[in-house]
Amino acid sequence: MMNKNIISDTKRAERMGVFTFNLATAFTGTTNVRAADITADNIREIKGVSLKKNPKYFGAAKGKNLIIIQLESFQRNLTGVKLNGQSVTPTLDKLENETFYSDSFFQTVSKSNTADAEWSVYTSTFPSGYYTNTQTYGDRVIPSLPRTLSDKGYKTATFHTNDASFYNRDNFYPAVGFNKFYDRSFFGDDDVIGFSPSDEVLYNKTLPILEEHYKNDENFYAQLISVSSHMPFKIPESKQSLTLPENLNGTELGNYFQAMHYADKQLGAFIQKLKKSGIWDDSVVVMYGDHHIIDTTKLPDEQKTYVNRSSELKAQPADDYRIPFYLHIPGVDESGKINNIGGEIDIMPTVLNLLGIKATDQIMFGEDILNTQTNFVPERYTMPEGSYLANDYMYMPDESFETGKATYYDGQNKELSSDVKKRFEASRKLLQYSDSYVNNLPKQKDVEK
């Protein structure tokens, strides 16, 4: 039997052998929490936060549309890079002067990366450390951002140029309440990059649908999933407009920069069209990277000079696990850096507050990042379960809490104080509550009876 006292999956696998470990985890779920105990109040108590009576920005974008754009494989420390004076991500660089943005925003994904990022954003719960949630729970009725907005009269849809059957999205999207999804059957087979039509096709074919909703005064929530910057980052030469330094030609990092530059250019063109149509000024627009992709610590020394290291989060893996995050709020003149840590699970509560939708009883494991300074982001799979990222330090357990390590983001060790342990215990509890909550959700066939 697997020793559950060993926290790190890596350590468990070392002790048990990989085959035995995989067999054990396949039949081992987290201890189930009673459904009656999983309440919004209890989750807030675990996190150590209280319900705000008058949260800042509540209803600042009431009645506005929502557009969320997931940027494939964008990681924060590889944006804002200049090569021979040419910006790799000029669109994102410019957005820092127009929107709220974060340098301390983290992935909350597990083994299935892109699909996990979607899960976290739609549900404000954590993806499983052992299963792909979109495949495992596609038969459930899942409380979510799209379901909530659909209930408020929004037209809700996803736009993804890949086949919706991939990661079981054809079942998952209805399970989270999207009214409609547009996949490869809609986008066709033109201008394929990698395994699906390009981001240019994605944006150009999505725009008329949004314009139709806008013209008809129909509130909408559109979720766009970009894909052209997916590994192995092979952008056709005719679409490469970035001049690489000689030492990056033919390298994975060079190809990655070309792919990001192309994806960023298409995003910029889409934003300009949204502005021209009036949709930009009438919509909350969220843009975020789905997950990190390159371990920058393992790059050759001559390539490490191109990494845009954080001046505040120097510790690894925190620097690599950062993803870009941008938030446009129509009618709000403020912009600039969000001085608070966040993650993909925090998008749903942040957006609902802006749209003026009270969700005090909604089960959400994230925080409104515009209304908290004490947030912390639990991690799993890519880090030992119980790891978390706080505003000024990160913690990673090993075989136990005591053998783990807390590190300030400047790289200095932090004492394993009672506060560090309290958040460690809270992180594990939140993951346990999240898994139990999702597992207890009703199946569609039972609700339909």
pLDDT at 2: 36
Q: What is the DSSP string of 260-325?
A: HHHHHHHHHHHHHHHHHHT-GGGEEEEEEE------GGGS-HHHHTT----SS--STTHHHHB--E
pTM of the model: 0.94
Q: What is the pLDDT of residues 400-409, one digit of tens each?
A: 999 999 999 9
The helix or strand, by DSSP H or E, that contains position 158, with its residue range, turns out to be strand 155-160
CATH top class, domain 65-354? alpha beta
pLDDT at 309: 86
What is the residue extent of each domain of the chain? 9-38+376-447, 65-354
C-alpha of 379 from chain center: 12
pLDDT at 31: 62
Yes or no: say if 399 and 387 are a contact pair by the CB < 8 Å rule: no
Q: What is the pLDDT of residues 278-315, one digit of tens each?
A: 999 999 999 999 999 999 999 999 999 999 987 777 78
Cα–Cα distance between 385 and 391 in angstroms, integer?
A: 19
List the beta bridge partners of residue 101: 326, 337
Phi, psi of 140 (to 5 degrees): -100, 170
Cα–Cα distance between 197 and 201 in angstroms, integer?
A: 6
C-alpha of 65 from chain center: 20
Cα–Cα distance between 422 and 369 in angstroms, integer?
A: 21
Cα–Cα distance between 137 and 8 in angstroms, integer?
A: 26
pLDDT at 6: 52
9-38+376-447, CATH topology level: Arylsulfatase, C-terminal domain (3.30.1120)
pLDDT at 439: 96
Q: Please, which residues have CB within 8 angstroms of residue 148's CB and are 6 or more apart in sequence?
A: 177, 352, 357, 359, 362
- The pLDDT tens digits along the chain (449 residues) read 334 445 555 555 455 443 333 433 444 445 689 999 999 999 999 999 999 889 999 999 999 999 999 999 999 999 999 999 999 999 999 999 999 999 999 999 999 999 999 999 999 999 999 999 999 999 999 999 999 999 999 999 999 999 999 999 999 999 999 999 999 999 999 999 999 999 999 999 999 999 999 999 999 999 999 999 999 999 999 999 999 999 999 999 999 999 999 999 999 999 999 999 999 999 999 999 999 999 999 999 999 999 998 777 778 899 999 999 999 999 999 999 999 999 999 999 999 999 999 999 999 999 999 999 999 999 999 999 999 999 999 999 998 999 999 999 988 999 999 999 999 999 999 999 999 999 999 999 888 76
pLDDT at 1: 31
